[in-house]
Amino acid sequence: MNINNVAFERSFGISSQLPPSSLPEIAFAGRSNVGKSSLLNKLFNRKSLAKVSQTPGKTATINFFSCDGVRFVDLPGYGYAKVSKAEKGRWAELIEGYFNQERNLALVVSLVDIRHAASDLDENMIAFLQDAQLPYAVALTKADKLSRQQQIKQKAALKRQLALDEDVPLVVCSSEKGDGIDELRALIGAAARG
């Protein structure tokens, strides 16, 4: 996959608009502000392919990008308290609607902030991926905010909390500094090739 060939495809505001999967998909899921859009940008070495904001709730639609026959899916975040009930419901509809469809999922990258314990919603997300036997990896984001020693400690704590199997890749990432990016690219490449 040549990362320079990435292109924005389309945004969707309601899950029934989503076209069937015509390509293997790599989806990015996680709570609001965890760094999904930033990670996508970093993977493609682009500043503003996906929109990033300090304010949680930036990505309010499902956004498709494609690169050499693989589709990348930037999902809205879950768990942001400070939006209206209607908006929360719309995001939940999008996320659940996406995962409840028969998508051709090559890999779900489930993002969790390395600084904190996983939230109930993070636990639910990962339990769902596990139960549905979907291929997934966990990206621990914002590693640049911790020392190397704290990163090791948090990685072990989160692995325990999320009860991750040995074979689930757990990647310490920083979209600021680039940690974990090559490892994620390799996982994505292997998943996309099947």
What distance in Å separates the CA atoms of residue 17 and residue 94, rounded to the nearest whole number? 10
How many Cβ atoms from other residues are within 10 Å of residue 81's Cβ?
A: 7
Decide whether 33 or 154 has the Cβ nearer to Mg ion. Answer: 33
Note the maximum CA span of the chain: 45
Among 63, 110, 151, 174, binds ligand GTP (CB under 6 A): 174
110 binds, among Mg ion, ligand GTP, none (CB under 5 to 8 A by kind): none
Residue reference for tokens 């069937």: 20
Q: Does 181 help bind ligand GTP (rule: CB under 6 A)?
A: no
x/- track of binding to ligand GTP for residues 83-122 (CB under 6 A)? ----------------------------------------
What distance lies between CA 147 and its chain's CA centroid?
23
Q: Which of 6, 49, 59, 192 binds ligand GTP (CB under 6 A)?
A: 59
Task: Assess 154 for contact with Mg ion (CB under 5 A).
Answer: no
Is 35 a binder of ligand GTP (CB under 6 A)? yes
Q: Which is nearer to ligand GTP, 71 or 110 (CB)?
A: 110
Return the sign of the alpha-carbon dihedral for residues 156, 76, 41, 7. positive
Residue in the structure block whose two tokens are 């314990």: 117
Between CA 114 and CA 139 the distance in angstroms is 9
User: Mask 22-51, x = binds Mg ion (CB under 5 A)?
Assistant: --------------xx--------------
CA separation for the pair 53, 21 (Å, rounded)? 28
Footprint of ligand GTP (CB under 6 A): 30, 32-38, 52-54, 56-59, 76-77, 141-142, 144-145, 174-176
